[in-house]
Structure 1
Amino acid sequence: MNDASEAEIVAWLAPSSERQIDTACAHVFLRGPVALKVKRHADLGYADFSTPERRLWALERELEFNRPAAPDIYRAVRRITREADGSLAIDGAGEAVDHLLEMRRFDETAVLSARPEVVDGDLAERLGRSIADFHAQAPLRPAGGLTALSWTIGSNAQILRAIPELDQARIETLIAATEAELERQAPLLAHRSARGFARRCHGDLHLGNILLEEGRPVLFDCIEFSDLLSDLDVQYDLAFLLMDLAFRGRRDAAVRAMSAYLDEAARGFPPEIWEGTAALPLMLATRAAVRAHVEAHSGKAEVAGAYVEAAIAHLSPAPPVLAAVGGLSGSGKSTFARAVAPELGASPGAVILRTDEVRKRLLGIAPTDPAPEAAYAPDAMARTYDEMLANARALLKAGRAVVLDASFIDAGLRTRAEALAAECGVPFRPAWLHAPAEVLEARVAARSGDASDAGLDVLRGQLARGDLGVSWPKVDVAGPVPPAAEAWLERRG
């Protein structure tokens, strides 16, 4: 295959394009509804595009890796041909001298890094569940996982030590803490790799590589050029998004995405999905360290330093706590749980376990699908609470804070929650939400698209039970729930 120089290809594509975007690995040319990507003709160390064969290999992998999550964006690898008159063409009659990737052009302002404020609770929920589904369908890579994370940690150390603009004393603090935590978590990570948690992942899953189209998150720009950067523990893949959101001050969205991810992933992955959160601080720190050297090499030393400090903080996590939010239907338990979770435990916050979601998970139906009446029979209710408390036990023992979101009308269930905290040696922080009956009825009547199946008949049955003798601290939620949650945090802080 006769080569065409990088300069020749750029000079050929640029004049007929509206815009050219240059990255470390490629040139992208925007023209009408299409984007054309060509790889740089270089060996970058971490990626070798120095020959036409290597560039074709990378483009074909990029198409293959991105198709599952973004099939409408990644279209085809096209031949760049040398025509009889010496000119270049796309899929012409001449001999192929290189290749390019044809993509559908999308609105750049729809990328979430351009507007992180749009990642509200519903979108964060969709993000967590869609990423879990993406991981569940990804090919197994048992040789990855621990191997890839160890390599990245070593690479981070080497790169950060070579950046004089960074505080090298803090770099050494970060490296020592990271290496110690890696040694502590290595057996868990190796076990997860053997149990199916190491897969071909996205590899670069931050907000800059997630697009919002028609309300749906679309993952794009997977790493294709290195198995060490793509054959990962699925939780390490998720960790980039969680770290990115937390660094931007959006722990609320990170908690919602994390909780949704775990609930969805627990439908298909082995039960170690919960225990694996013990390694999350290490994974968050490693992702923050990656961003530190990327920002430093972009001339943003102050931002890089902030990422270093964030990485160090991830490796000194706050201790776990068990919170439990109870109350009648319509009292705002889920709103309350989502408001307090970001403030509890290790970054980005507590995992929320909600009986309405656990019930649907056990039934194998979508969280917003209505459950059959039998799912609310006493034995089925018992299984739901058993599962929720078992999940909470695993999370607490892994060092992750938990918020239980359930009615807790039965005194025995309240006692079990308190006993679980004592068993795990963590503080117990309960809240019992209450509001006038007319407020509860209005909230239940206004529900839509929620995991709760409780209607007005359920609420009225609860109200008919009268005083439940609840000893948990009472929280008045007759008004807006978030201020009540904030006040509860301050009282109990």
Structure 2
Amino acid sequence: MSDAEEAEVARWFGGFAERAIETACARVFLAGDTAFKVKRHVDLGYVDFTTAERRTWALERELAFNKAAAPDIYRALRRITREADGSLAFDGVGGTVETVLEMRRFADDALLAAHPERVDGELAEALGRAIAGFHAAAPVRPLGGASSMAFTVGSNAQLLGQLAPVLGEPSVARLVALTAAELDRQASLLAARAGQGFARRCHGDLHLGNILVEDGRPILFDCIEFNDLLSDIDVLYDLAFLLMDLEFRGRREAAARVLAAWLDQAARSFPATIWEGLAALPLMLSVRAAVRAHVQAHAGDPAGARGYLAAAIEHLAPAPPVLAAVGGLSGTGKSSFARAIAPALGASPGAVVLRTDEIRKRLAGAGPTDRLPRDVYTPAFYARVYETLFAEAGAMLRAGRAVVLDATFLEPDLRRRAEDLAREAGVPFRPAFLDAPQAVLESRIAARVGDASDATLEVLRGQLERLAHTEVTWPRVDTSGDIPQAAKSWLAT
């Protein structure tokens, strides 16, 4: 398709489409309940769509790849044909002028990029688990990992170098040097993870602009199809784009919730070495921010590009890890408190919250909010849950990730083990034991819906009896009122 034909196709769509959306690689024409995507006649260095064959190849892959996560949106390929009278038509008898991807149109405000504030705790939880499920079902790509990361790091260095006069020579040079050093430090880990099955056929472009919500359900769409080095990658690197995007938009608490939910769900399908990969997360976040830096610069937003560049540099200087432990009776608000303090602890996007309630479900092979029968709660199972809690926390601390332990911690021995874990890892320990009147606890337990906790009023009474026979030396925190405010006060101490 020549430039003239490209313009003609755009005019033809303009005759019946209500609106056109342009991106660096495509034009999307909106008509009624349908969206038509046409690849642009461009060569951007990292993608070449200058021939009809390459554009058709890319659309075929886009349709096939996106069917996995968004089958209701991606419909079919259509042909724009040149008819005998010289006019254009859909799927006519004439020769093909261009191939088009037909999609179901969705509401403009369904995109999370337009409303990042909508990513509250519940949606963040659903996002993390949905993405983990997508990754678990994705085809394994053993060559993804270090090689894919090296390609993107090299591409970023080249593209940012070309933009250095706009972005600032010193900042670009600093980021390029820091990224190269960190990639060298993490290369063996990334290669090992690829061999363990963490490199998959991923989305590749998983930011808020490529996630929509319909009927409360997150839907991933518009994955990368044109370059396997950008999509055959480590699953954590795929997730990192969303984490970086949320934090950059001021939604760090949502990013921390997404990460914790993703880890708990992914741990059901991936090897136990999943926690070790967190050591590479600062690099992954930085590389994602660097990608956005040159994309924003090419889009004519130098201020935004410089913001992403600064974020990319900052991600490579992560805050050191810390171990926090939140104990207390059922109903004291441990999970709410833990999630409130997590974003303020450690490297971006904050500490990972490990809940014994979720670990129990995972070990039992149940869904995160499924209720377990009471006979599962044996002393042996109780001990296994805490063994898992401390083992996973230790692995994350060694990987440089801050952790918040969310458990009752009614037994002195368990509290000592948490203290010992921090000491062995060489990280600060910050405990909190939550308190609230029994009437408040009973009210909260009775009101629970869709939570991982199986605690009942009977369980609470048993906990009260056990607590009466032990002395708790951890700092007490009153959570009978506003829990986020109590968490904020605790962080300030």
Q: TM-score range by the shorter chain?
A: over 0.9
1:157 Cα offset (Å): 1.1
Deviation at 1:174, TM superposition (A): 1.2
Count of matched residue positions in the alignment of Structure 1 and Structure 2 = 491
How far did residue 449 of structure 1 move?
0.6
TM-aligned CA deviation for residue 2 of structure 1? 12
Deviates more, 1:152-161 or 1:321-330: 152-161
Give the AA of the match of 1:96: T
1:43 is displaced (CA, Å) by 2.9
**Alignment match of 1:479 (pick from 470, 478, 481):** 481
Aligned to 2:471: 469
Q: Which amino acid aligns with 1:78?
A: R
Aligned position for 2:267: 266
Matched residue, 2:407? 406
Q: Does 1:27 align with 2:27?
A: yes
**CA shift at 1:6, angstroms?**
1.3
SS at match of 2:15: helix
Equivalences for 1:73-112 in 2 at 5 Å? 73-112=73-112
| TM-score with structure 2 setting the length | 0.97
Conserved? CA contact 2:335–2:406, under 8 Å: yes
* 1:46-78 deviation per Cα after TM superposition (whole angstroms, max 9, x unaligned): 222222221111101000111111111101111
1:309 Cα shift? 1.5
Q: Secondary structure at the match of 2:30?
A: strand
Deviation track 1:369-414 (CA, whole Å, cap 9, x = no partner) reads 0012232111011111111111101000000000000011111111
Question: CA offsets per residue over residues 152-184 of structure 1, 9 Å max, x none?
Answer: 111111111221111211111111111111000
The answer to whether the 8 A contact 1:3-1:98 is kept is no
Contact 1:37 / 1:102 at 8 angstroms: preserved in 2?
yes
- 2:159 alignment counterpart: 159
Aligned equivalents of 2:180 and 2:91: distance in 1?
50
Instruction: Please state if 1:415 is matched with 2:416.
Output: yes
2: CA distance, partners of 1:383 / 1:453: 17
Corresponding residue for 2:227?
Answer: 226
CA distance in 2, matches of 1:211, 1:167: 35
CA distance in 1 between counterparts of 2:327 and 2:185 reads 36
Asked if the contact 1:153–1:286 (Cα under 8 Å) also holds between the matched residues in 2, the reply is: yes
**Does 84-93 or 303-312 show the bigger shift?**
84-93
Task: Give the match for residue 215 of structure 1.
Answer: 216
Distance in 2 between residues matched to 1:139 and 1:74, nearest whole Å: 20
For 2:54 and 2:440, locate their aligned partners in 1 and report how far apart those are by CA, in whole Å.
65
Q: TM-score, normalised by structure 1?
A: 0.97
Consecutive unaligned residues of structure 2, counting only runs of 5 or more, are: none
Aligned to 2:451: 450
Deviation at 1:84, TM superposition (A): 2.8
The one-letter code of the counterpart of 1:23 is T
Taking the aligned partners of 1:174 and 1:79, their CA distance within structure 2 comes to 44
Q: How does 1:237-248 map to 2 (within 5 A)?
A: 237-248=238-249
Question: Bigger shift: 289-298 or 100-109?
Answer: 289-298
One-letter amino acid matched to 1:143: L
1:375 maps to which residue? 376
Which stretch shows the higher mean deviation, 381-390 or 304-313? 304-313
Instruction: Indicate the SS of the match to 1:114.
Output: coil
Q: CA RMSD in A?
A: 1.5
SS of the residue 1:113 aligns to = coil
> Which residue number in structure 2 is paired with residue 148 of structure 1?
148
Residue type of the alignment partner of 1:322 = L
Residue 436 of structure 1 corresponds to 437
Q: What is the aligned partner in structure 2 of residue 342 from structure 1?
A: 343
Gaps of 5+ in 1: none
* Residue of structure 1 equivalent to 2:280: 279
Q: CA offsets, 1:218-265, max 9 Å, x none?
A: 111111111111111111110000011111121100010000000000
Output the CA distance in 2 between the equivalents of 1:24 and 1:346: 32
8 A Cα contact 2:144 2:232, kept in partner: yes
* SS of residue in 2 equivalent to 1:152: helix
Distance in 2 of aligned mates of 1:299 and 1:80: 32
Amino acid at match of 2:358: E
What is the rounded CA distance, in whole Å, between the counterparts of 1:442 and 1:349 in structure 2?
30
Q: Percent identity?
A: 66
Give the corresponding residue for 2:302. 301
Secondary structure in 2 aligned to 1:284? helix
Q: 1:449 corresponds to which letter in structure 2?
A: G
CA distance in 1, matches of 2:180, 2:445: 50
Shift of 1:128: 0.4
Give the aligned partner of residue 398 of structure 2.
397
Structure 1 position 83, deviation (Å): 2.3
Is residue 79–residue 99 contact of structure 1 (8 Å, CA) maintained in 2?
yes
Letter in 2 for 1:183: D
- 1:3 Cα deviation from its structure 2 partner: 11
Tell me what 2:70 maps to.
70
Bigger Cα displacement from structure 2, 331-340 vs 84-93? 84-93
2:322 counterpart letter in structure 1: V
Q: Secondary structure at the match of 1:12?
A: helix
**How big is the shift at 1:273?**
0.7
**Contact 2:3 2:41 survives alignment (8 Å):** no
Q: In the aligned structure 2, how far is the partner of 1:180 from the partner of 1:375? A: 48
- Give the drift of 1:467: 4.5
Q: Deviations over 1:26-61 (max 9, x none)?
A: 111110000011111233322222222211111010
Amino acid at match of 1:340: I
